[in-house]
Chains A and B, each alone.
Chain A
Amino acid sequence: MINYASREINCKIVYYGPGLGGKTTNLEHVYGKVKPETRGKLISLATETERTLFFDFLPVDLGTIRGFKTRFHLYTVPGQVYYNASRKLILKNVDGIVFVGDSQAERMEANLESMQNLYDNMSEYGYDLTQMPFVIQYNKRDLPNAAPIDDLQASLNPGWEVEDPIKQRVQPDPYHAGQNLVEQLGGGEWIERAPYFEAIAVQGDGVFDTLKAVSKLVLKALA
C-alpha cells in the first residue's frame, strides 16, 4: 500500500514454516538489532508457554526511497498444524514470504508439510507463490543433526517450471557463486528456484540477509 499523504510505502512480509523452526527468533533478532527509532513494538500473541498462538508482529523502517519511507510489517504465523485457520488469516494481502525451514534431518517431514500448507493457503486466496517475492531460510545450521543444504534444496526448493519464454534465460544466484536461480535442466526444461539463505537465528546469522533479500524483492516488484 502506497500512502501519498504520509509518503509511506507499506509492505507486509510473512515468516512461514514449521513449529519451533525459528520464525519468532528471526523477528526477535531484528527487534534487538535495529535502532529503536526505526522500529515499533514487537507484538506477540502467544500462549503461556511462548508458542505463537496467532502471530508476532514487528514494523520496521528500512530507509527512504524517492522521498517515501519504506515501512515493512513483519509477521510470523503459528507453526503448529492445528492453527491453520489463524495462519491463513495472516497471509491475507501478503507482499512477500520467508519460509523458515528447520535444518534438522528429523524435521524434514514437518518442513514439507508446512511448505505444502503454504502453497495450499496461498492458492486458496488466489495468490501464486511462484510469482511473488519468496525466499527460503534454512535455520539451525549449527546443529549436529542439520541435513546437508543439497538435501534441503532438493526437498524444499526443487524449483518450478518457467513457461514464459522471456524468462527462460540463466539467472545467476547473487547470493551463491556458481549457482543459478533460473536454469535449464538436462531434459531441456527451464526451472526457477527461490533464493535461499543459511541461518543460525539464535545468533543472528543470516537473519538480516534473509530480510534484506525479501524486502528488496518486494520493492523491485513495484519497480
Chain B
Amino acid sequence: MTAGTANWSFTQDDFTAITESMRRFLGETKSLCALLVDRSGQLVTTVGDSPGLDATAFATLTAADYSANDQLAKLVGENDFSSLFHQGEKESIYVADIARRLLLVVIFDSRTTVGLVRLRMKDEIEELTLLIDRVFSRGRNGAAPAEHLLKGADDEIDKLFNW
C-alpha cells in the first residue's frame, strides 16, 4: 500500500531555521503571532504570543479559508489570490502562500499596520520558500527519515489500537 498523499517530514534543523526566520519577521513587523500551516490544514509551527488561541482549529480553518478563496479566484479568471487580509476591530489576519504548499498566517493588532506587514511579508515569503523547497527536494530524493520512522513497526501499530 502506498503511503498517504501528503507524505513529507522535516527535521529539527529545518524547524529551527523556519522558526528563527518567522521570529525575526515577527520582531520586524511588531506582529503578535505567526503560524505556518500546510495546505491540508495541519499546523507546522507557531511563534509569538497567542494566548487562548486554539492553534489546531485555527490552522484548519485558515487552510479551508485559503482553499475556498483559491477557487473564488479561479471563478473570476485569476490563477490565485496570493494573499488574504481579514480586518478586525482590534486584531487582523494576513495570510500568504508559501511555495504552493504552506501558508504563513500572521496575527497583528494596532501596534503595527497592514502596510508594514505586507511590505516585510515579501522578503519573508522568499526566505521561507527557500527553506521549504529544501525540505521537499530532500523528500523527493528519498532521503527523508520519514520513510524509516515506522518501518517494521507493524506490531507496535497493532498494539496502539488494542483498546
Contacts and interface: CB of A to CB of B under 8 A. Distances in A.
B150 A66 contact: yes
Contacts of B163: 212
A4 interface: yes
B149 A95 contact: no
A86 B68 contact: yes
Contact of A89 (B56, B67, B147): B67
A110 interface: no
- Determine the main DSSP class of A at the interface with B: mixed
Contact of B38 (A1, A86, A128): A1
Interface residues of B, number: 46
A3 interface: yes
Interface stretch (A21-29, A57-65, A136-144, A147-155): A57-65
B67 A92 contact: yes
Interface of B: 1-12, 14-16, 38-42, 44-45, 54, 56-57, 60-61, 64, 67-68, 71, 145-147, 149-154, 156-158, 160-161, 163
26 contacts: A1-B8, A1-B9, A3-B10, A5-B11, A5-B14, A5-B16, A9-B149, A12-B41, A43-B60, A54-B64, A62-B160, A65-B153, A92-B40, A93-B4, A93-B40, A94-B5, A94-B6, A95-B4, A95-B6, A212-B161, A216-B161, A217-B1, A219-B150, A219-B153, A221-B2, A223-B153
Given A12-B41, A89-B68, A220-B157, 6 more contacts: A4-B15, A40-B54, A68-B149, A73-B42, A92-B39, A220-B1
Q: Which 6 pairs between the two chains have the least Cβ-Cβ distance?
A: A95-B4, A93-B40, A5-B15, A93-B6, A2-B9, A223-B150
Interface of A: 1-6, 9-12, 40-41, 43, 45, 54-55, 57, 59, 62-63, 65-66, 68, 70, 73, 85-86, 89-90, 92-96, 125, 127-128, 131-133, 212, 215-223
